Amino acid sequence: MVKLFLSNRALVQFLLPIMIAGYFVLGFYFGSIEKINAINLGVLGVIKTNFLVSAIVNLLLIFVNGYLLNLLFNQNGFYERNTYVSSLIYVVFMSYFESFYGLNGLVIAHTFFILAIYQLFDLNQNEDARRAVFNAAFFLGVATIVHPPLIIVIPFLYFMVWTVRPFVWRESFLLILGFAVPLIYGSVIYYLNGHLVNLKLIRQPVITEIGTLNFYISLSSIVVFIGLSIVGITVKNQKISIRLKKMTRLIWFFVIIAAILGVYDLFFFGQIERFSFFLIPITFFLPFAFTSKTWGGFTEFLFYLAILYSVIKFFI
């Protein structure tokens, strides 16, 4: 399967909806999916909905997220030819998290994170970047609205832009404005719903409980593949263009953000849901571990084990 997705065959992406549906069916019939008829959208509040409808929307979003990540990987020339393993990586590891099986602000935040990366990749040293800077900040602002702990991205956003561009006052102002617009509208909605904006918004767990075995295996798997991703991109960095090195530096900031969110979730709530933000940078780095002459076979073997566990965990 891995070699199929590593090949230049675009049609393999049609296997992803089948995989996503398969995971959901297994989780529905053999797992412990809670049929919650409400969606927590952070500042926008809790919205009542039909469980099946929200699940279908969530599964579609996961497919879209995987597709967009793969599109970014291919369009920006991270690899010498098109490959579709990035989307496979995202779908397989996303199935480890409870957020895979019911819509919430975290998965929506993933989508806007990816859209922000798309804008940041459009930044160029010698071209006007006002539109891209504003859009990237706006998308991250929307992500923060639906998942408030993402407020920590504000200082990192400046460093992301300055990694590619020289400091420009007008762009810095647009960055603040773009991030603030959705926050202002979201805060108004939150206030009109009878709430006061405070730190409680970022102190909420994503889910209420998780199986102990699944917790440790999922956490260990993510940590191992983060390590392999770092090895893969470190080897690749020696042979890439200056522009690609800048894009790689941008992705490293998302690694730092994911680490902060994940550690925060682990120590304060005993959960791993926010470690799912690691899946975004992993999809850019891990493919190089698959194609490495030294690490390729080992990475592929571990990934097959990860796929195997993603299925059998429903029966444990």
DSSP 127: S
User: What digits encode the pLDDT tens for the residues 154-197?
Assistant: 888 888 888 777 777 787 888 899 999 998 888 888 777 766 66
- Give me the amino acid identity at 104: N
Which pLDDT band holds residue 16 (cuts at 50, 70, 90)? Answer: very high
Residue 5, class by beta-carbon neighbours within 10 Å (0-12 exposed, 13-18 middle, 19+ buried)? buried
Q: What is the pLDDT of residue 181?
A: 92
pLDDT over 80 (residue 259): yes
User: Which of the 8 DSSP states describes residue 277?
Assistant: G
User: Dihedral through CA 269, CA 275, CA 276, CA 278, nearest 10?
Assistant: 160
Look at residue 108 in the predicted model and tell me its pLDDT: 94
Q: Which residues pair with 39 in a beta bridge?
A: 47
**How many structural domains compose the chain?**
1
Answer whether residue 138 is part of any domain.
yes
Question: Residues, the chain, total?
Answer: 316
Instruction: Using the structure block, give the residue that is written with the tokens 């408030």.
Output: 148
Tell me whether residue 206 is in a domain.
Answer: no
So what's the pLDDT on residue 210?
A: 56
Q: Give residue 238's pLDDT.
A: 66
The structure's pTM equals: 0.91
User: For residue 194, what pLDDT is reported?
Assistant: 66
* pLDDT higher than 90, residue 12: no
Q: What is the domain range of residue 152?
A: 2-201+211-315
Q: What amino acid is encoded at 294 in this protein?
A: T
Report if residue 235 sits inside a domain.
Answer: yes
Q: Is 95 inside any structural domain? A: yes
Residue 183 domain-assigned (yes or no): yes
> How high is the pLDDT of residue 206?
67
In a domain, 265, yes or no: yes
pLDDT at 209 > cutoff 60: no
